[in-house]
Amino acid sequence: MSNPNRMPWVDTAKGLSIILVVMMYSAYNTGEYTGGVGFLHYAIGFATPFRMPEFFLISGLFLSQVIDRPWRRYVDRRVVHYLYFYVLWAIISIGLKIGIFSGDPAGMLHDLAMAIVQPYGVLWFIYMLAVFGVAIRVLRELRVPHLIVILAAAALQMWAPKPDSYALEQFAAYFVFFYLGFVLAPAIFRLVAWTQARPAIAVAGLLAWAVVNGLLVFSPGYAVQPVGMQMGLATWPPLHLALAVAGAVALCVAGGFLSKFASMEWLRWLGEHSLVVYVAFTIPMSIFRGVMLASGLLTDTGMLSLAVLLVSVISPVVLYFIVKRIGFGAFLFERPAWAHVDGPNATKASNKPMTQPVREAA
């Protein structure tokens, strides 16, 4: 059943986003070990411009409702909330991969220490949400005009610097999308509402966008590789930025269209619990891929990538339901009361899952 405090189209769009994210890691992780390219490589190649920008843009859509809260409460909801799950799952992932599977305790301690200043693995997204939460509040306090921030952030994104700090690199690459979600939220809400009332126009618009995006991505000069995608004309920084924004908005429209169908309830649910999948999918992904290749049961890059995708998405969901069923391990997906800094609201907030309602009460 849908949470009345959430907007179905937002969760449906997030469901599309998390599938694309897991698809990328599944395809490239498989391609790395098989040395081949499968059909999912082309699907994720198409999504290259907007795959992560959509996640960040949609994460900023409801920021205006909480941005002016007292600092302590804001930090609790927009910073500590994400850092709790980042730290917890970084410890789990590093402990399993380096400490147990690789048998390297010293390497484990090194990676744990580095994870404080350098986002670890796929968890970098959660790390950056916390960083963006602080950055945007500081900009708000300093009263920096939206236009100045957008122009500066867009320039950073197009410049695409490669500093020694991975956190700074990702900040430059994605802050503009988070900020655009914050600033353009009213316009995006109106657009989705308008297209929801006109499904034929929504479908026509999405088809036109898909054709343009595909032609620019797969234009001369493109190369689909086992690990990575070299785009064609879409590589040009200003065009890449434009395609990223257009693709992020298109996925919002697609979420609005699909959310009207009861058969898409599973996708909405997946989006509502997208962080459950995000924090936990890499462990079953690596194990399943390794078992399949070692056994020789499934070695075709395309089919193995698809199987890895399904296992990677379904396994965290199964774990989530097991935790709910047995009543143990809730801390994996729900922030406990001790992990709050907003004292008076800690008890109430501790009952919220990591996929907190997108429409928060002030």
Q: In the numeric block, which tokens belong to residue 354?
A: 């990591």
**Count helices and strands in the chain by DSSP H and E runs:** 16, 2
- Position 360 pLDDT exceeds 50: no
Tokens 């708000």 appear where?
A: 140
Tokens 């009263």 appear where?
A: 143
From 159, 157, 158, 139, select the one nearest 148 (Cα to Cα): 139
Which residues have CB under 8 Å from 342's CB, separation 6+?
A: 72, 73, 75, 76, 77, 349
Neighbours of 362 (CB within 10 A): 7
- Whether 54 and 17 have beta carbons less than 8 Å apart is answered as yes
Chain segment 124-133, per-residue pLDDT in tens: 999 999 999 9
From 282, 201, 213, 285, select the one nearest 247 (Cα to Cα): 213
State the pLDDT at residue 101: 82
DSSP string, 149-180: HHHHHHHHHHH----S-HHHHHHHHHHHHHHH
328 Ramachandran zone, left/alpha/beta (phi>0; psi -120 to 50): beta
From 11, 3, 6, 17, select the one nearest 251 (Cα to Cα): 17
* Torsions phi, psi for 192 (to 5 deg): -65, -45
Chain segment 230-267, per-residue pLDDT in tens: 999 999 999 999 999 999 999 999 999 999 999 999 99
- Whether 40 and 305 have beta carbons less than 8 Å apart is answered as yes
Residue 71's pLDDT band (cuts 50, 70, 90): very high
Q: Which stretch of DSSP H or E encloses residue 230?
A: strand 228-230
Query: Helix 237-258 to helix 51-59 angle, to the nearest 10 degrees?
Result: 70
- Whether 301 and 274 have beta carbons less than 8 Å apart is answered as no
* Torsions phi, psi for 236 (to 5 deg): -55, 120
More confident residue, 344 or 288: 288
Bridge partners (DSSP) of residue 334 are 353
Q: In the numeric block, which tokens belong to residue 30?
A: 């498989």
Chain segment 79-95, per-residue pLDDT in tens: 999 999 999 999 999 99
State the pLDDT at residue 279: 93
- The Cα 20–Cα 72 span in angstroms is 34
